[in-house]
Chain A
Amino acid sequence: MRQKELKLVMTFHTTSDAMAFEKQCKTDGAPGRMIPVPRAITAGCGLSWCASPDDKGALLNVIRKLSLSNTDLYQCMV
């Protein structure tokens, strides 16, 4: 297994929200990719967006643009 790195991870309550977020990130050129939600955050499955902690501003812009309320941001080793 590769070495873990500190990442910014954003979680969603539904797959639909995750897809809306991914689509907007692609449109806006916001960096990152979808990964399974790390167990350090929840064991409850689902998708999360993984990016560098430096990209927090760009991701918050996407959240604001979509008016997503059910998202949480974490910093964790991924």
Chain B
Amino acid sequence: MIYLDNAATTQTKPEEVINAVVDAMHRLGNAGRGAHGASLGASRTVFDTRVLLQEFFGAEDPRCMVFTANSTESLNIAIKGVLSKGDHVIATVLDHNSVLRPVYSLEEQGIEHSFINADPMGNPVYEDFEKLIRPNTKAIVCTHGSNVTGNLVDIKRVGEIAHRHGLIFIVDASQTAGVFPINVKEMGIDILCFTGHKGLLGPQGTGGMYVRNGVDVKPLLHGGTGVQSYNEHQPSEMPTKLEAGTLNGHGIAGLDAALRYINRYGMTSIREKEESLMKRFYEGVKSIPDVRIYGDFSSFHRCGIVSLNIGDYDSSEVSDELFTRFGVATRPGAHCAPLMHKAMGTEEQGVVRFSFSHFNSEAEIDEAIKAVNILATE
């Protein structure tokens, strides 16, 4: 199989990540649940990973880093934790359902929302952010990179707008963490939400968030923390405030190994390889008759994604043919990003998304180009 669905999850993980999970499953107890060796081992692993994440994202303190199961959980905690009745929030049509659905769900609680539109290239209309700000606007939520087109969003620019108006800036880095440098201080990010199983190359079921010191986020979950057991309320101290229940210690051990791998291999090297593969694929398919590519390719400094359609063919049929005949794994349909598809006019057809990892080879890219060519011309 030629796996080109890395925007859904990176299938190939560094061997050390797999080994770290296996080792943790042999060795670790429950973090923060006792002072015996197995529990302390888990607590140390969790804390070490917290420090690695703090350094990775330029956070001020390891206590700002919270572990969750994925970006969706992080975004739910962030969006529901900062907004209250009467507030207004701005998101974008580039956003994933992990942003849109929490925002929609808050309508019932009297929390309003507005969405920033996309231009014909699929980029957010930056000028509209300030136009949509109201007296009751509390926060801006924005993806760092579209999971449909691969377009990057200028996070620093949006962060400046948010802070000029005293708004909380929440960023969804699901498609970018691990591949693009993210410094929460330099980019003006108040809350960063990320998953561990995509660009960070960790196991599924790992993820987290950065919450700037001083930003008050109400807990979504209440439960066991291993501390303050007779306190009827969730402890108010970070990160425990947002971490009820047993953490995924085994997965976090894998994430720890993945972060060390990225630091050693080099994020720049990873990104340059992905960009090179994306460019090779783009150049190989862009001139094939009836192939239509979506998104902004004026620069290849973008997520490693090329989304396309062939004529009027249903994207699901194309993706199925790619896999059954050529062994090329892609993702068709709506990619949980309905507003992006509405903006592109692809609600009915969907798009076929090819997404690349630095573990892919040029030979695999050439096979995929050949497959698209055959499907488009036969």
Contacts of A42 in B (CB 8 A): 230
- Pairwise interchain contact B226-A45, C-beta atoms closer than 8 A: yes
The prevalent SS among residues of B at the interface is loop
Query: B228 near A46 (CB under 8 angstroms)?
Result: yes
Binary B-proximity of A16-58 (CB < 8 A = 1, otherwise 0): 1111101100000000001110000011111100000000000
Contact of B62 among A16, A46, A70 (CB under 8 A): A16
B229 contacts A45, CB within 8 Å? yes
Cβ B227 vs Cβ A44 within 8 A: yes
Q: How far is the CA of A19 from the CA of B34 in the complex (A)?
A: 12
State which size class the interface on B falls in: 20 to 34
**C-alpha spacing A19/B32, complex, angstroms:** 9
Residues of B close to A70: CB separation below 8 A: 237
Count class of interface residues, chain A: 20 to 34
**CB <8 Å contact, B230 and A44:** yes
* A20 with B227: CB separation less than 8 A: no
* Bound complex: CA A45 to CA B235 (Å): 13
Q: Separation in Å of the A78 CB from the closest CB of chain B? A: 12
In the bound complex, residues from chain A placing their C-beta under 8 Å from that of B240 are 13-16
A45 and B47 form a contact (CB under 8 A): no
Of A14, A16, A47, which is in contact with the most chain B CB atoms at under 10 Å from its CB?
A16
The tally of CB-CB contacts under 8 A between chains A and B is: 67
**Which residues of A sit under 8 angstroms from B62, Cβ to Cβ?**
16, 20
A58 → chain B closest CB, angstroms? 20
8 A Cβ contacts from B38-62 to A:
40, 43-44, 46-47, 50, 62
Smallest Cβ-Cβ distance to A45: which chain B residue:
B229
A16-B239, A20-B62, A44-B228 known; A36 and B47 CB under 8 Å? no
Which residues between 222 and 245 of chain B lie within 8 Å of chain A, taking CB atoms?
A: 225-231, 235, 237-240
Cα–Cα, bound, A22→B43 (Å): 11
Across the interface, B230 reaches (CB within 8 A) one of A13, A23, A35, A43, namely: A43
Identify the closest chain B residue to A11 (Cβ): B227
Given contacts A43-B229, A47-B43, A13 and B34 within 8 Å (CB-CB):
no
Report A's interface with B, CB cutoff 8 A. Answer: 12-20, 22-23, 34-36, 42-47, 70
B residues neighboring A (CB under 8 Å): 31-32, 34-35, 40, 43-44, 46-47, 50, 62-63, 225-231, 235, 237-240
Given contact pairs A15-B46, A43-B229, enumerate 18 new A-B contacts (beta carbons under 8 Å): A12-B227, A14-B235, A15-B31, A15-B47, A15-B225, A15-B227, A16-B50, A17-B63, A18-B43, A22-B44, A23-B44, A23-B47, A35-B35, A44-B228, A44-B230, A45-B228, A47-B35, A47-B43
